[in-house]
Chains A and B, each alone.
Chain A
Amino acid sequence: MVKKTCLIILLFLPFFTLAQSKLPGNIYLDKLPNGLEILVVEDNSVPLATVMMSFKCGAFTEQEKFNGLTGLYQGMLERGNKEFPTAQDVGYYGGALGVQARNSSTSEEYSTCYFTLPKLNLEQGLNFLNSEVRFSKMDPGELEKEKQIQDEQLKQKESNPYFSLSTAMLHHLWGDLYYRKSAIGSHETILSATPALMDSIKNKYYYPNNAILIVGGDVSHTDVFTLAEKIYGNWQASGFDPFKNWPVPEFKPLVKTDYFIVESPLSKSPYITINWRGPDTRNDIPSTYAADVFSYLVNQKTSKLSQALVQSGLALSVSIGYTTLSHVGPIGLVIEPNPSKVKECMDEVRKQISLMDNDDYLPAGEIETAKRMLEIRKVREEEITSDYVHILSFWWTCASLDYFVGYNANLQKVTKADIKAYINKYIKNKPYCAGLLISPELNQQINAESFFKPNN
């Protein structure tokens, strides 16, 4: 009887695996005993595999003296390891495997390294990634080179006037914790990085229990799970939760509206950004869906906002967006005002913000269209597997895979009342920060300080 029972269980085991969760039919999730999560996206379209490992760390886990160093650490993963001692060795072996699109990135809430290679080289690719992630050399000479590269990248960004505006916005919107939203860091922190500081990052966050391995492409999930166990199974878990040992501090509430002007001779035309503190996935998930529907609706050419600003000739363009994050996502309204009507444009922007919860701002038919188009956009985002793994990685870090899986269904539940509640909770009559980027010449002509300020 026991044998029969076991046989039946064995026969139905694949069904239990298939029914693992609400994940789509071609996506499979597993977890090693050391805590490493493994997500496989099966897609037989082309004979490639994209391999990615992401960690829950980035600007939000950095103290001020570490600001930008998670990105620097990620860059160092490609500069030699126990198996391939130099950056040249890493590049050569990667080339031999057919590795393309090899890169790493760090943002507010996640760090990731990834590449794509022929599916036939999947096992070597997983070993290659293992060498990079677990056995990086952090050679002091290579660190100096990487510091120079990162510093140059920062200089390049600083030569862009929009970067000056966005950096100023970080300080105004997030206050003394601004660096928790800026992954690029500063010249000072980048140039003062040492191997010891790199180790410090590794020892806090670079453990299997804070990571996900995502493999997408013409692969079998059972093969990937087996290979992951073989290659990453002996990676020791940290034994601690980094978010309990080093909690991410909460931002102090934004108590008053704040206006600022950034003058730049590089600015060719004026540019306004208005940011609010929005919802996050720890505290208010329903508002994140309402935020997406509202943003899509308002960004249509036929919207009230567009008619009032763009069709009227007060602005060249206007758009609103919300960035989903686990630690307060910003809501951003971006306006390119008509250079000859900056004041009138700003007056109208304030008026429109006060109208956003009106019924005629949120036509029922357009809400339904917005939901349908967002649904279509999500399906289209999933089409290219080497891109899709990035989206999955993003959602794993800033929300959860369940959030991602339930996105479309929850989007359909959004009502006009939900959108109004979102506007009233986060936008209308709420403190915000407004920044104006302008050339000194235009500022002299229009005296922006006289009207670009609160309560005008």
Chain B
Amino acid sequence: MKRTILILIILLACIYSLRAQSVTQSFNADGIKVIFKPTSKNVINVRIYFRGGVANYSPNQAGIENLTLDATTKCGTKKYNKNAFKDSTDKYGILTYGSSTYDYGYIQLNCISKYFNQGWNLFSEAVMNPVFDADEVKLLKERKVVISRNNQSNAETSLMLLQMQNAFKNTPYAIDPDGSEETVNGLTANDLKNYYETILNKNKVFIVVVGNIDKQVLFKKILAAFGSMPSQSFTPVDLQAPVWKDNKLLIESRKLSTNYVGAIMNAPDFTSVNYVPFRLGISGLGGNLYQYLRSQLHLSYNPGTNTVPLKMPFATMTAGTNNVPEVMAGMVNVLKEIRNSGLNDEWLQHIKNTYITRSFINDQSAAAITDNIGSAEILGGWQYADDLPQLVKMVTVEQVNNALNFYVVGLRWTFLGNPEAIENYRPPAF
């Protein structure tokens, strides 16, 4: 009887242990790094990431990676022509697409677990055997040009692009990952095919999988699908963010009902011990700006801040306003005040709790989790995505205050709107 009970205890311990294994893990599948987060969700998201982003190509090829990766799921594969591919995705509610941004590109699969096999077949075909059919690529380029024009007509998107071009002049980040009408129109199906061959490399890619799937099943699928992927040496480009000590202002004239103004400032690397304290400080700055410029002075309806964790990281302050000088002065005053006076314990606790909820409330889907894990891996290690809540909890007031004072040493301003609203105005000294 004792032996029976002992066996039962061991058996139960094993079962509980298996049930508890829902944490993120990483493994190697024939030279490809795989990061897997099992969840109870019946929606599975898979992304194959391609490292490098805008550092992979020259400015005159702007948009090539975005177009190439999108084409893998839109222009058919060796096994499925474009229509057969689309019919299958429609039949089983499968979403696939490719995209690219500053530091990376990806091809994504999103489907329910019941139809994962069907989804995986399409996804692996898109990754390994895309057909860059000239006619289909032409149609896709036309759609990209329309999207690019729409982006140009969106003031907030335009402001962000201008800010990047202003602050990151002469670096890869001055390239718009979506490309311009001119650069996209200049790309051919053959360009895309040749480019894809340069990035389909076991040492340049990694795969993130989130969902309710058995690890062994996943492992076998990856081996079978991607085992034949080329393997070549890859050395990532070392990117160093410029230091913005000045207070330069770039003015872009555009007829808008509301003017937009933004400032970029330096930020710590994603892997720096200062990153989370800095990010909390910028979050607190955003709350103060909102309180001062919107609630108190009614000068802007949308003042806000953002920390942008890229390989060359930065933070932004932005606002839409028709009182540009007052808002710019207000931004500087609020920033100076928080740097001089700092936070206190009660305030920091508020920021921490609110930060956790706000950060994660829109990140509950399998796709959002994949995105967070993938971004963290690109920036230094997927573990940071899992550790974020604990890192936030450990932050002290002193760390926040020190980080804000150390990294924010100047502001690079960008203005979009009617130049008369800012005529003869110079940014206040910082």
Contacts and interface: CB of A to CB of B under 8 A. Distances in A.
Interface of A: 4, 7-8, 11, 14, 24-26, 42-48, 95-101, 116-118, 120-121, 369, 372-373, 375-377, 379-380, 382-386
B200 to A, nearest CB: 30
B112 A48 contact: no
Given A98-B354, A98-B357, A100-B361, A379 B114 contact: yes
B189 to A, nearest CB: 31
Interface in B83-131: 91-93, 112-115
User: What are the 7 closest A-B residue pairs judged by CB atoms, nearest first?
Assistant: A98-B353, A376-B93, A46-B360, A26-B40, A118-B356, A100-B357, A47-B389
B114 A14 contact: no
B5 interface: yes
B356 A47 contact: yes
Given A118-B353, A383-B365, A386-B361, 12 more contacts: A45-B364, A46-B361, A96-B349, A97-B353, A99-B357, A100-B361, A117-B353, A120-B389, A120-B393, A372-B91, A379-B114, A385-B364
A29 to B, nearest CB: 16
Given A98-B352, A376-B92, A11 B357 contact: no
Contacts of B346: 96
A99 B355 CA distance: 10
B112 A380 contact: yes
B40 A43 contact: yes
A11 B12 contact: yes
Which of the four size classes fits the interface of chain B? 35 or more
A11 B8 contact: yes
A121 B353 contact: yes
B175 interface: no
A118 B360 CA distance: 9
Nearest to B363: A46
5 contacts: A8-B5, A11-B8, A95-B353, A121-B353, A372-B92
Contact of B389 (A95, A100, A118, A369): A118
A379 B91 CA distance: 15
Contacts of A118: 353, 356-357, 389
Interface SS majority for chain B: helix
Contacts of B220: none
A323 to B, nearest CB: 23
A98 B115 CA distance: 37
Nearest to A96: B350
B2 to A, nearest CB: 9
Nearest to A380: B43
Interface string B322-340: 0000000000000000000
B41 A43 contact: yes
B350 A43 contact: no
A97 B39 CA distance: 26
Contacts of A373: 93
Contacts of B12: 11, 14
Contacts of A385: 364
Q: Which of B91, B112, B350, B355 gathers the greatest number of chain A CB atoms within 10 Å?
A: B112
A369 B352 CA distance: 47
B112 to A, nearest CB: 4
Contacts of B114: 375, 379
Given A47-B360, A98-B354, A383 B1 contact: no
A423 B71 CA distance: 45
A385 B361 CA distance: 9
Contacts of B92: 372, 376
A45 B5 contact: no
Contacts of A96: 346, 349-350, 353
B5 A7 contact: yes
A48 B366 contact: no
Nearest to A25: B40
A385 B360 CA distance: 12
A98 B8 CA distance: 43
Contacts of A8: 5, 8
Contacts of A386: 361, 364
A384 B356 contact: no
Given A8-B5, A11-B5, A369-B91, A48 B39 contact: no
Contacts of A383: 41-43, 364-366
Contacts of B369: 45-46
Contacts of B366: 45, 383
A7 B346 CA distance: 49
Contacts of B26: none
B9 interface: yes
B358 interface: yes
Contact of A382 (B9, B41, B350, B352): B41
A11 B428 CA distance: 71
A379 B353 contact: no
B60 interface: no
A118 B23 CA distance: 18
A43 B393 CA distance: 21
Nearest to B12: A11
Interface in B55-100: 91-93
B360 A48 contact: yes
Given A45-B369, A46-B369, A384-B364, A100 B43 contact: no
Contacts of A45: 39, 41, 363-364, 366, 369
A42 B352 CA distance: 23
B309 to A, nearest CB: 17
A43 B39 contact: yes
A4 B8 CA distance: 13
B22 interface: yes
A382 B350 CA distance: 30
Nearest to B349: A96
Contacts of B42: 379, 382-383
A45 to B, nearest CB: 5
A376 B39 contact: no
Interface string B1-31: 1000100110010001000001100000000
B23 to A, nearest CB: 8
Nearest to A382: B42
A36 B363 CA distance: 31
A44 B361 contact: no
A197 B43 CA distance: 46
B364 A11 contact: no
A379 B43 CA distance: 7
Nearest to B9: A11
B1 A4 contact: yes
Interface string B353-392: 1111110110111100100000000000000000001000
Contacts of A98: 350, 352-357
A324 to B, nearest CB: 22
B361 A116 contact: yes
A46 B113 CA distance: 20
A219 to B, nearest CB: 12
A24 B113 CA distance: 14
Contacts of A377: 93
A95 B356 contact: no
A373 B349 CA distance: 45
Most chain A beta-carbon contacts within 10 A, residue among B5, B12, B23, B389: B389
A48 B393 contact: no
